[in-house]
Amino acid sequence: MNLKKKIEKLPKDIQLVIKKAGNLADKMGLSAYVVGGFIRDILLSRANLDVDIVVVGDGIKFASTLANILDAGLIKHARFGTAVLTLGNKLKIDIASARSETYERPAALPTVKSGTIEDDLARRDFTINAMAVVINKRDFGKLIDCFYGRDDLNFKKIRILGDLSFIDDPTRMLRAVRFEQRYGFNMDRKTLSQFRQASRKKMLKYVTKHRIRDELILMLKEDRAVMMVKRMDKLYGLKFIHSSLSLSSVNRKFLNELDKVIECFKVQYPKKRGLDSWLIFFTALLNGFKLADIKKICFDFAFKKRDTRRITLYHQEHGKVLKRIDKKGIKPSLIYQNLEPLSFEAIVLIMAKEKKPSIRKKINEFLLNHNGIKLVITGKDLHKLGFVSGPHFKKMLLKTLHAKVDRIIKNKDDEIRFVKKHGSRHIRPFLKRNG
């Protein structure tokens, strides 16, 4: 089969990269291929901005030259013979030397040796990810499909290549569930039986937390993350995240509700920054855990500081915040003070946790009208008005902002009138000095 026509339908910038890479390979006398998920998604007519290129020969040298030609950023991993090129248009190009891999012990990182394109395809996780397309001019577009990945795409099957695939690399269990649910596929009988065997042996406990974290984040970022978590729970359990984690009916409902709230958030507040949905789901899974355990989990997974803060802050604050904003007749500025320090992720979690219409209404009001609200005046205006600058400026501006949230004041004149009236205490030293 030849995919030339399908490649010609890809976005122009991707086509250009593939053409230039092919030309360069010809010049350097190397065989070059586009491989893996990129080919899978071409055959499924799905967009994919990660181009994986494999060359038979020195991938690093090839990558450095291509980076020059494309004026792209370059990160080299000499130890693995791989490199990543980044282009301004969000395109990412992974380049690797064709290699074979052997696993000295289960779950360890593999030992790598240079090899043929067939070796390189044989080391991969599933047949649907083990196809390559020639990009050298002579055979441009020719599909190499030694493991019948195309048939498996047609029959909607996830199939491992070797019996030991899940034992050698247990993170592939997470990947199997991810691809199954993403595409609406199923694992074939043998793959499922190998999955169950690796599951009985609890193979994920031999994998470093960092590798689990990376796969878990990829899973939780997917549109069907909740289905994936449920499937993983059924086939493996969730103790690979924490020894006392299981999917209780409470958490199940919470995850389902989150799915709905995340969708609504995107529709109702399209101008807000994109949500980190993985963080929302991860936080929800730890529902009911002690704060000390949550901190330990975040530490073990080596989450970024900012992510750890967002996860722990929700668990620390959501109960208190809910109680406070649930009060009848509470001023908008008090709601603002409670919600503004929280991340959007924490707010989504609170909305899913508390379905009470009165609470949702207050949160909606905050998100639509008050989040991100700004004063027209600044410290400079206070100075011009004769106030002596100091830390009280922040307090004065905040008090004025709260008045704006409460609609006591509306425009710049109101703001100036408000600070003059409420900030008179701070004007005296200035008057004295000049008096």
Q: How many residues bind ligand CTP (CB under 6 A)?
A: 12
Give me the half-sphere count of Cα atoms (radius 13 Å) on the Cβ side of residue 304. 6
Q: How far is CA 390 from the centre of its chain?
A: 41
CB of 242 to ligand CTP, least distance (A): 22
How far apart are alpha carbons 91 and 101 in whole angstroms?
27
Cβ proximity to ligand CTP, 99 vs 124, nearer residue: 124
CB of 52 to ligand CTP, least distance (A): 6
CB of 287 to ligand CTP, least distance (A): 27
Residues in 87-146 that interact with ligand CTP by CB under 6 A: 124-125, 129-130
Task: Report the SS3 class of residue 189.
Answer: helix
Cβ neighbours of 158 (radius 10 Å)? 25
Cβ proximity to ligand CTP, 276 vs 415, nearer residue: 276
Residues in 142-171 that interact with ligand CTP by CB under 6 A: 169, 171
Cβ proximity to ligand CTP, 134 vs 347, nearer residue: 134
Q: Is 404 in the site for ligand CTP (CB under 6 A)?
A: no
CB of 155 to ligand CTP, least distance (A): 18
Cβ proximity to ligand CTP, 92 vs 142, nearer residue: 92
- Nearest 10 degrees: Cα torsion 355, 366, 289, 178: 80
Rg (CA), the chain: 28
Cβ neighbours of 123 (radius 10 Å)? 21
Task: Report the SS3 class of residue 76.
Answer: strand
Binding mask 204-223 for ligand CTP (x = CB under 6 A): --------------------
CB of 409 to ligand CTP, least distance (A): 51
CB of 377 to ligand CTP, least distance (A): 48
SS3 string, 321-339, reads HHHHHCCCCCCHHHHHHHH
In the bound state, the residue with its beta carbon closest to ligand CTP is 37
Q: Is 50 in the site for ligand CTP (CB under 6 A)?
A: yes
Q: Which of 172, 315, 318, 353 binds ligand CTP (CB under 6 A)?
A: 172
Cβ proximity to ligand CTP, 169 vs 345, nearer residue: 169
Cβ proximity to ligand CTP, 50 vs 58, nearer residue: 50
Cβ proximity to ligand CTP, 172 vs 402, nearer residue: 172
Cβ proximity to ligand CTP, 161 vs 285, nearer residue: 161
Q: Is 191 in the site for ligand CTP (CB under 6 A)?
A: no
How far apart are alpha carbons 124 and 121 in whole angstroms?
6
How far apart are alpha carbons 193 and 187 in whole angstroms?
9
CB of 83 to ligand CTP, least distance (A): 14
**Which pairs with CB-CB distance under 8 Å and at least 24 residues apart come from 380-383?**
381/416, 382/419, 382/423
Q: What is the DSSP letter of 117?
A: H
- Nearest 10 degrees: Cα torsion 162, 166, 171, 175: 60
Q: Is 52 in the site for ligand CTP (CB under 6 A)?
A: yes
Cβ proximity to ligand CTP, 172 vs 318, nearer residue: 172
CB of 283 to ligand CTP, least distance (A): 23
- Residue 406, H or E segment: none
CB of 129 to ligand CTP, least distance (A): 3
CB of 114 to ligand CTP, least distance (A): 17
How far apart are alpha carbons 161 and 145 in whole angstroms?
12
Residues in 24-43 that interact with ligand CTP by CB under 6 A: 36-37
How far apart are alpha carbons 230 and 236 in whole angstroms?
10
Task: Report the SS3 class of residue 236.
Answer: coil
Q: 183-213 burial, b if ≥16 CB within 10 A, otherwise e?
A: bebebbeebbebbeebbeeebbeebeeebbb
Cβ proximity to ligand CTP, 53 vs 349, nearer residue: 53
Q: Is 259 in the site for ligand CTP (CB under 6 A)?
A: no
CB of 16 to ligand CTP, least distance (A): 20
Give residue for tokens 């937390």.
209
Cβ proximity to ligand CTP, 152 vs 169, nearer residue: 169
How far apart are alpha carbons 277 and 280 in whole angstroms?
5
| Parallel, antiparallel or unpaired: strands 143-144 and 132-134 | antiparallel
Q: What would the two tokens of residue 312 be? A: 């722990």
Residues that bind ligand CTP (CB under 6 A): 36-37, 50, 52, 124-125, 129-130, 169, 171-172, 175
